[in-house]
Structure 1
Amino acid sequence: MYQKIKLLIGVLVAFGSQGAEAQSTGARAGRPNIVVIISDDHAFQAISAYGNKLVKTPNIDRIARNGVRFDKAYVTNSICGPSRAVILTGKYSHKNGFKDNETSKFDHGQDNFAKHLRAGGYQTAWIGKMHLAGQPQGFDFYNILPDQGSYYNPEFIGMDGRLIKKEGYVTNLIEDISEEWLDARDPDKPFCLVIGHKATHRTWLPDTADFGRYDSVDFPLPPNFYDEYRTRAAAAVQDMSIDKTMQMGYDLKMLSYSKKGEPSVNRMNAAQRARFDAYYGAIEADLQSKKLTGKALVEWKYQRYLKDYYSTAASLDRNIGRTLDYLERHKLRDNTIVIYLSDQGFYLGEHGWFDKRFMYEESFRTPLVMSYPGVIKPGTVSKQLVMNLDIAPTLLDAAGIAAPAEMQGKSMLPLFKSEAAEIRDAVYYHYYENGEHSVSPHLGVSTKDYKLIRFYNRVDSWELFDLKRDPSEQVNVYGQTGYETISARMKLILRTLIRQFDDKDAERNINSDDK
C-alpha cells in the first residue's frame, strides 16, 4: 500500500512539475515579444505599401504583408516630441503635459506602458530618438539621441547620462545598438524594444551609400502644389512652403548659399565629406549653370527635396529589414509583435509644403503597419479609425496586462477578432504651437466623411471639409448653404470628445467663438 501511495505521489509531483513547466512555457508563448519602430516625419504616401509606385520600401511592406496595413491611422498632435509622449503614455497632450516642443517639459515620473510591461516581467529598452528631454523611466536599458540627434557621427546618451560619440550613419548605428541589446537580453523573458529612428527628419541627409538613389526619377508635382489657399485663412499665413521657406544651403545642401557652412555636414569625417562634396558639388555646379528663376527654381527645389527625402528613407527601410531578419534568424518572428509607425505624417509637396502640424490629411495621418502572427491575418487592410494614442493600451492588452484607467487610447486587438468591430467613429486632434512655421494652434474632429477644424490665436476661424467630394481639402465649406446640418452635427461630436477627453483648453476655445 505504501509503495502504491508513493508511486501515486510521484506521478502527481511529476505531473504537477510538467504542468508548471508547460504553464511557464505557455505563458512565454502567450506573452509576445514586442518591437515598436518609430520613424520621424515619414509620410504614408512615401511608402510603396501605401501605393507609391516610384519608390520602394520592401521591408515596411514586409510588415504589412505579414500583418495589417492601417489606412486610417492618425495622431493626436502632429509634432515630434508630443507624438512620442502620446505613444509612451497613451494619453493626449493636455493629459501627459507635453503639448509642444517649444515650452513643454516631459514628466518621466508619470505612468507609461513600459513601466507596466517591466512590472509584468518584460525586459524593456528604448534605443535611438526619443526627443523627450530628461531621464527615461520604465526601461531596463536606453541609449538615446540628444534632442533631434545628428545624421552623421552622432552622440548617444547612455544609462550613465554621458554623451558618447559614435562614428557612422545614425540609422545604421541605431540598428547596431538594438541588435547588441537583443543579443544581451535574457532569452527566458519576453522583451519590448522601441527603436526610434531620426530618419526622415529635416534636413533629409542620406547615408553616403544612398546618394543619388532617385536621381533618375522625375517626381510629378502634386495637383495642388500651387494651392492658393482660398477659403483657408490659416493655410494662407503659414511659413512652410518649398517656394519661400525651404533653404538652399540648410535643406538642399547647396553649400555656397551658407556663409558659415552647415553643422550637419561639418560633422562628417574626411571619407564621408569627400563623398558628400563629390555628389552635391556636381549638383550645385549644374544648378548654377542653369540660372533658374521663378517656377523653374521652385520645381527644381521640389525635385531635390524629394530625392533627398526618399534617399534618406532608403536607409530607414533597409535597417527595418535588418530588424526583421534578426527576428527570423533567432526564431523570434512567430512570437513577436512588430509595429512600424511614424510620429506623424509629412507634406511631400501637397499644398506646396514640407513639414507637418496641420490637421490636413498628409500631416494628421500616419503610416501604421503591424504584424502579430496567429492574431492578425497576413495581408489585412484596415479602414478602421485608429490613433497613436492606441499603441500603449494595445501593447498592454497583448501582454495580458490591464491598461490603467488614465490611458485614453483603446486596444486595437478587438479589430482582429471581428470584422464588425470598431473602436471609434471619430478622431480628435489638438495642436498647440504658435511659433514654428507660423501654423496657428487648432483643434478638430474627423470622421470618415467630414473634418471640422477650429483655428484660434494666430487665426480665428472654422473650417469644414467634405472628404468624399474634396479629399485634398481645398474647399472650406463651413458656413456654405447645404452644410448647416453637417456643421451642427460635427460640432456636437467635437464637443462630446472634448468632454470625454477632459480638454479644458479646447472647451474654452470652442466657447469663445461658436458662430
Structure 2
Amino acid sequence: MITYAFQIFQSILKFGLVGMLTLLTNLTDKKPIAEAERPNILFCIADDASMKSFDAYGDTFINTSAIDNLAKEGVVFQNAYNGNPKCSPARACILTGKYSWQLKEAADHNGRFPLEFKTYPQLLAQKGYRVGYTGKGWGPGVYDTKDNPAGPEHNEIRLEPPYKGISDIDYAANFEVFLNDNPKDTPFCFWLGAKEPHRFYELDSWKKAGRKLEEADVPPFYPDNEIVRGDLLDYANEIEWFDTHVGKAIKALDKKGLLKNTLVIITSDHGMPFPRVKGQIYEEGFHIPLIAYWKGKIISGRTVNDFVSFSDFAPTFMEVAGETPHQQMTGSSITKQLFTSESGRIDTARNHVLLGKERHDVGRANEDGIDLAYPVRAIRNDSLLYVHNIQPERWPVGNPEYGFMNTDGSPTKSYITAIQPDDEEYHFFEMNFDKKPEIELYNIQKDPHCINNLATKPEYSNIIAKLRTQMETELIAQGDPRTLGKGEVFDNYIYYGKRLDYKTGKRIAPLKYTKKTE
C-alpha cells in the first residue's frame, strides 16, 4: 500500500493531475491474477496426437474445427515440446513442473510416480480448488496416492463409441457432471484426458467414415501405399473424436457462463503411435500442439515462437491461480507469453529446449543385461536438432527378436518390419527400426522430417561441439544423473507393465504392486 501511494505522489509531481489519473487507470486495469476472481483451468490432452494433425498448425486431412476455433480466438504456440516423447514421463513433466531427467522413477515409462513429488492438482486442491480428471490421467504406471496424480477420477458416464478402437468413456459428459456438481464460487482445475488416438484402431474404420485413401498425407519416412494410407485415415477418425469432445466441453462451459473465467489448454502428450514418431527423438515425436484460450483475457489471433516445455505447465497453472509455484518445480511459467498482446518471440532467452528419454518399454537386452534404457539427450533451437544417442549399440526401439516393442503394433509397423534387406524399400526399415549413430544433427528448417543427418559433415563439427557443450552444461546444472555418469539408475528402476520373458519372448503378468503409505 505504501508503494502504491508513493507511485501516486510521484505522478503528481511529475505529470500533474492528468498524469496521476492516467497512472491510476493503468494500475487498476492491471491487477495481478491473485487479486482477481480465481480462474478455472480446463486442461485438454490427447493421447498420441501429432502436432501437425491439427488445423491450427497448417493444412491437414483431419478436421479439427472445434480446436481450430479456439486457436483463432486464442494463442498458438509454435515451439512447444514434451521433454520426453512417451506417455507417463511426458505427463509426469506436466504434473510436477520438472524436467524428465529429474523425475527419478517417473522418468521411465510404466514406472512409479514418486510420492515426494508435488503435483499442481494436489497443490491447487490445498488452496481451495476442486480438481478432477476424466479419461486418461497420469500413466501407465503405479502411484502411492489415493487418487491418480491428475486428480480424482470422473469416468462414470459411458457411451457407445462409433468405432471399436475408441474408448466408451464420455469425456465431455463427465466434465459437464463435474461442472454441475461444482459448489458455487469454487474454482476448478479439470484434466480432460482423451484416450484417443492411442491404439488400437478399428481396422478400416476410415471406410465407415466415408474417407478416401487419396486424402491421407504420408510422411516421407513411410512407404506410400494403401496399408499406410488406411492406417493414417483410421488415426484421423480418432483425432476428430478428441476434437468433438473438446467442442462439447467448451459448450458446457459457455452454457454455465464460465468461459470468461476459464483458461483452456489444448495439447497432446507426444506424436502419433506410428514408427519413428511415438517414443522417438525426432521432430514429430516431441514437437507437440499447444493452444491456449481464455475469453477476454488472451488476445486472439496470436502466435508465439518462444520455446516451451511440459515442465513449464505446472508453474504456469500455479501463477494463473494466484499461487507461487512450488519450490520443486524447475520449469518456468509462461504467463507472460499467454497474456501479452504481442506475437513472435516474446522472451529472447526462450530460444531452445532440452529433450531426453530413458527406458520406455521393455524388450531391449544385450550382454549388459535386460530391461535396458535407450538413453538419449537432445537440444532443439530455432534451426537445428542435435541428438546424442548415448548407447548406440543398443536397439533404439527394442530388439528385433522381441518385436521392436517400443513401437506400437500397427499395419504400418507390420508392413515396414517385413521389408527385407534386398528390397528396394529397405531404407524405410532402416529409418524406422535400425540402430542409430551416436550423433545426429538435422536442419529442421530445411529437413523437418529429420531425414538427412548432417553430423558426419566436417563443416558442422564446430556447431556440434557448441550444441553439446550448451546441452550438457544445462543438464549438469539440472542434476541429470545420465550426464553426471550415473545413468544406470534408470535401467534399475522397476518396470510395472506387462513384462517380457526373455527366454520365450512372450509377455508375462506385471509385478504386483502394493501402495505405500501416503
Q: State the TM-score, normalizing by the size of structure 1.
A: 0.70
The structure with higher relative contact order (CA 8 Å, sep 6+) is 1
Within 1, Cα distance between the matches of 2:128 and 2:204? 38
Instruction: Judging by fraction of residues, say which structure has more helix.
Output: 1
1:52 aligns with 2:63: no
Choose which of 124, 128, 147 in structure 2 pairs with 1:136: 147
Aligned-partner SS, 1:363: helix
Q: What code does the residue aligned with 1:314 have?
A: E
**1:257 aligned partner:** none
- Per-residue deviation, 1:446: 0.9
Aligned residue number for residue 449 of structure 1: 383
Q: Does 1:490 align with 2:461?
A: no
Q: What is the deviation of 1:462?
A: 1.0
Post-superposition offset of 1:75 = 0.9
| Partner Cα distance (1:417, 1:304) in 2 | 42
2:174 — aligned with what?
177
CA distance in 2, matches of 1:180, 1:469: 48
In the TM superposition, what are the counterparts of 1:100-499 in structure 2 within 5 Å?
Answer: 100-102=108-110, 104-130=111-137, 131=139, 132-134=141-143, 135-136=146-147, 141-143=152-154, 170=167, 173-205=170-202, 212-220=208-216, 222=218, 224-226=220-222, 299-346=225-272, 353=275, 355-415=277-337, 416-417=339-340, 419=342, 420-422=346-348, 424-433=350-359, 435=361, 440-457=374-391, 458=394, 461-499=438-476
Q: Which amino acid aligns with 2:351?
A: D
Structure-2 change in CA distance of 1:490 and 1:187 (3 Å): same
User: 1:21 aligns to what?
Assistant: none
**Deviations for 1:29-53, whole angstroms, at most 9, x for unmatched residues?**
5321100011100111111121134
1:99 lines up with 2:113 in the alignment: no
1:381 CA displacement: 1.1
Q: Distance in 2 between matches of 1:151 and 1:83?
A: 28
Shift of 1:460: 6.0
* TM-score, scaled to structure 2: 0.69
CA deviations on 1:263-282 (whole Å, 9 max, x unpaired) are: xxxxxxxxxxxxxxxxxxxx
User: How far did residue 110 of structure 1 move?
Assistant: 2.3
Cα distance 1:326–1:464, how it changes in 2: closer, same or farther (>3 A)?
same
Identical pairs, percent: 27
> Residue 505 of structure 1: SS of its match in structure 2?
coil
SS of the residue corresponding to residue 502 of structure 1 reads coil
1:150-175, CA deviations, whole angstroms, 9 ceiling, x for partnerless residues? 9978xxxxxxxxxxxxx996365222
Contact 1:70 1:382 in 2 (8 A): yes
Measure how far apart 1:500 and its partner are: 2.6
Q: CA deviation at 1:377?
A: 0.8
Whole-Å separation in 1 of the counterparts to 2:481 and 2:302: 38
Distance 2:290 2:441 in 1: 26
Instruction: Report the CA distance between 1:466 and its aligned residue.
Output: 2.1
Distance 2:466 2:168 in 1: 46
3-state secondary structure, aligned to 1:45: helix
Is the 8 Å Cα contact of residues 197 and 238 (structure 2) preserved in structure 1? yes
Q: Which runs of 5+ in 2 are unaligned?
A: 1-32, 365-372, 395-435, 488-518
Question: Unmatched 5+ residue regions in structure 1?
Answer: 1-25, 154-166, 227-294, 511-515
| 168 and 331 in structure 1: CA distance in 2 versus 1, 3 angstrom threshold | farther
Task: Report how many residues are paired.
Answer: 392
Answer whether contact 1:171 1:199 (CA < 8 A) is retained: no
Q: Distance in 1 between matches of 2:456 and 2:123?
A: 47
Q: CA RMSD in A?
A: 3.0
Please tell me whether the aligned partners of residues 89 and 111 of structure 1 are also in contact (alpha carbons under 8 angstroms). yes
My pick for the range that moved more, 430-439 or 380-389, is 430-439
Secondary structure in 2 aligned to 1:503? coil
What is the DSSP-based 3-state SS (H/G/I as helix, E as strand, rest coil) of the residue aligned with 1:382?
A: strand
Q: Compute the displacement of 1:94 (Å).
A: 3.0
Change (3 A) 1:386 1:205: farther
Please give the secondary structure, in 2, of the residue aligned with 1:312.
Answer: helix
- Provide closer, same or farther for how the CA distance between residues 141 and 214 of structure 1 changes in structure 2, counting only shifts above 3 A: same
- Are 1:32 and 2:43 matched, yes or no? no
What one-letter code is carried by the residue in structure 1 that aligns with 2:45?
I
d(CA) in 1 for partners of 2:204, 2:34: 42
Counterpart-to-counterpart distance in 1, 2:460 and 2:159:
48
> 2: distance between equivalents of 1:477 and 1:501?
28
3-state secondary structure, aligned to 1:38:
strand
Corresponding residue SS for 1:71:
strand
Closer, same or farther: CA 354–174 of 1 in aligned 2, 3 Å = farther
Q: CA shift at 1:330, angstroms?
A: 0.7
- 8 Å Cα contact 1:206-1:315 kept in structure 2: no
- Give the distance between the partners of 1:199 and 1:507, measured in 2 at CA: 37
